[in-house]
Structure 1
């Protein structure tokens, strides 16, 4: 598999908020060979990176975040790099190579910190468009992404409808609901109330690791389902050698340190080693602020200029972005006269299912990229003669299990 990776300078960049920075650098990875009409842009989720698939030169990026969709992107996989030229770019405001709060401000020689401009998903999309211009890619066969990456996908259909033929927002919605807004608000407060956050000026150390760790733990609970947590952890006590990551109250020694606590502590410890607290604040703000209908009368109006095809994919146990939210999105696409399939996967995994169930995600996505909404694994419930709306197609785990 041919791989190119690097950082492209886009020069001065003006954000939607009206503020500018002297230079925006965007880190990207690209896989396969570009033939003129085979480019697929993959949009990463909240704390993802450009490192979407594994390759020989991945030693540096693997320390940042593992090849997060390696089961989906690669030779012979659902997004087949033998057929498609796949590009993934780290978004502005992140900390994996693209300019963000932890980056040096060339005007001061110090990290931007909270002087970095507020970022939006629209900013991510415009930066990706400029990156593709630099790479010589005028148009895309498809844009694909999960979670907030799926919102990024929708923004492509809204802002650059003539530049993409197919979109696949996975485990996503047109906006975040109030419950998730609440959890994200608590996560941000965990960071900003950590004394080491220091108003965002902590780069000389120490880092606000406790606050970021708590924010990540809140996120992990949002990404799992009740059923998956019960199956994975139950009420079991952690092993004898398990060590608590946070100070405990005096009574804790009488009660068990449970397996679910140990798991959350472990995930938090790993996360604070690789992610920036200010970036977490900026990126969750971008996600929470997103509203597909912004600037338009409705979601369907926002999508009216897009005349390609869409695959919406959702998961039954996902309470972060629910099946109902996905169906509402699919209806908005249909109302905009977009050929749309809503593919529902029956899964207990929760929001993380789009990352951990390649056997369910891969077949419909592969068929959609190849054949659009008529792909055999996408949906077979359209009545073309009566022009009935395309209904969503439930898919059970057993159909594509490996």
Structure 2
């Protein structure tokens, strides 16, 4: 079961404040003074990072979402490390956010202040103070959780020794921003959204949220992975989901496996997540810019004097290997000991969640030994005339 911490008055980057910020969190392992590892969850993740048998208020993909990576004897070994994972402000798994109770006893809804990745970092710092953790051995995160990890190097460079940024980048590109904007419109144009005031006995904006998640799934998979998983195969009309009304001509055409997959997962997601929280969290991710307030990414990271590992995946077009290399270059430009580990994978963005055999070894090695151990300082080759030519090269020496 998750614990909660009341952190008192909190002013968000937008200038608005709430009187008592609550964070839901979980810890794993024992704190020995210098072994704390903060794990930052992705967009719709939760504080329940590991322990499938541990009681939790989460469900679906948010439950024990990195159980293959975090735990006794695993890459992030809780026999050695004290792991902390907190649900970020603006989410819906116990931390203060749109569905939580406001000062009038009613859910905040869209009255909740706008949140940023920087707010997440500052809230985590307050939580660690509450837990008596002054400094972190490492902070690790994937996707927008990786942005959160980067923000630690930017905002609290003296409080963390190692940064592990997985399947992430310094900012989103225009294509991803465009898709995220359509996803939000899917929610806000659902009549059941009601301007964000849908809490209570009335209907929830299930269809809008499900459609938003479907767009997310398309972003998280690669062309090749979708071709292998679904192709153009028909699932049969009996597989059509009741939640989505089909057009009259649909009966003449195949209801394809890819449609069935998206409909099923969108519907299941809408059962466990809050539509307003999805709006808030995607806005936070979209707005993040590592260089914000500085002239460049490297200048933003200049005060960090620890070590950094960037992990990217060749099939990921949400955060590409090119973006990973640009991030690694920003660290190198500051003199930071760093490595860029490129994983050859056709799975897509979700590879960091579903391919622990590729993610665990470099993470565990870096946590234990940094770039001085069996890890090499770079895993990228450049061909003359190419901006970036990634190759799959292990961090480990042969």
TM-score, normalised by the number of residues in structure 1: 0.93
Asked if 1:207 corresponds to 2:199, the answer is no
Residue 251 of structure 2 corresponds to residue 253 of structure 1: yes
Aligned equivalents of 1:272, 1:132: Cα separation in 2:
32
Task: Provide the secondary structure at the position in 2 that maps to 1:263.
Answer: helix
Q: Distance in 1 between matches of 2:346 and 2:375?
A: 21
RMSD: 1.8
Q: What per-residue deviation string (whole Å, max 9, x for no partner) do you get for residues 195-236 of structure 1?
A: 111111110221101100000000000000000000000000
Distance 1:310 1:59 in 2: 32
Q: 1:64 to 1:229 in 2, by over 3 A?
A: closer
Gaps of 5+ in 2: 381-388
How many Å apart are 1:374 and its aligned residue?
A: 2.6
Q: Distance in 2 between matches of 1:258 and 1:176?
A: 31
The whole-number CA distance in structure 2 between the counterparts of 1:139 and 1:393 is 35
Report whether the alignment pairs 1:126 with 2:122. yes
**Match for residue 24 of structure 2?**
27
Aligned to 2:287, which of 265, 286, 289?
A: 289
The aligned counterpart of 1:317 is 315
Q: Distance in 2 between matches of 1:346 and 1:73?
A: 22
Counterpart of 1:76 in structure 2 is 73
Shift of 1:60: 3.3
Shift of 1:349: 0.4
Partner Cα separation in structure 2 for residue 152 and residue 240 of structure 1: 43
Q: CA shift at 1:112, angstroms?
A: 0.7
Matched position secondary structure for 2:138: strand
Deviation, structure 1 residue 56 = 3.8
- Residue 183, structure 1, aligned to residue 183, structure 2: no
Task: Tell me which of 54, 59, 63 is aligned to 1:57.
Answer: 54
Shift of 1:41: 0.2
8 A contact 2:72–2:78 mirrored in 1: yes
- Note the 1:263-342 alignment, pairs <5 A: 263-342=261-340
From the superposition, tell whether residues 392 and 257 of structure 1 become closer, same or farther in structure 2 (CA, over 3 Å): closer
Separation in 2 of the partners of 1:328 and 1:63?
A: 34
Give the 3-state SS of the residue equivalent to 1:145 in structure 2: strand
Shift in CA distance, 271/295, structure 1 to aligned 2, threshold 3 Å: same
Q: Which runs of 5+ in 1 are unaligned?
A: 383-390
Instruction: Please tell me whether the aligned partners of residues 367 and 378 of structure 1 are also in contact (alpha carbons under 8 angstroms).
Output: no
SS in 2 for 1:165: strand
Aligned to 1:222: 219
Q: Which residue of 2 aligns with 1:386?
A: none
Correspondence for 2:347? 349
C-alpha separation in 2, matches of 1:234 and 1:67: 30
Identify the range of structure 1 (242-251 vs 118-127) with the bigger mean alpha-carbon deviation: 242-251
What is the TM-score of this pair, normalised by structure 2?
A: 0.94
| Residue-by-residue CA offset, 1:160-215 (whole Å, 9 max, x unaligned) | 00000000000000000000000000000000000111111110221101100000
How far is 1:136 from its partner?
0.3
1:134-178 CA distances to partner (integer Å, 9 max, x unpaired)?
000000000000000000000000000000000000000000000
TM-superposed CA distance for 1:337, in Å, is 1.1
What is the deviation of 1:336? 1.2
> Is 1:47 aligned to 2:25, yes or no?
no
SS in 2 for 1:312: strand
**How far did residue 61 of structure 1 move?**
3.2
Instruction: Measure the CA separation in 2 of the matches of 1:360 and 1:322.
Output: 17
Q: Deviations over 1:43-91 (max 9, x none)?
A: 0000000000015432433468221000000000000000000000000
Instruction: Please state whether the residue corresponding to 2:2 is helix, strand or coil.
Output: strand
Give 1:376 deviation, angstroms. Answer: 2.2
Distance apart, 1:394 and its partner CA: 2.1
Which residue of 108, 113, 123 maps to 2:109? 113
Q: CA-to-partner distance for each residue in 1:280-314, whole Å, 9 max, x for gaps? A: 00000000000000111110000000000000000
Distance 1:353 1:375, change over 3 A: farther
The aligned counterpart of 2:385 is none
Partner of 2:97: 100
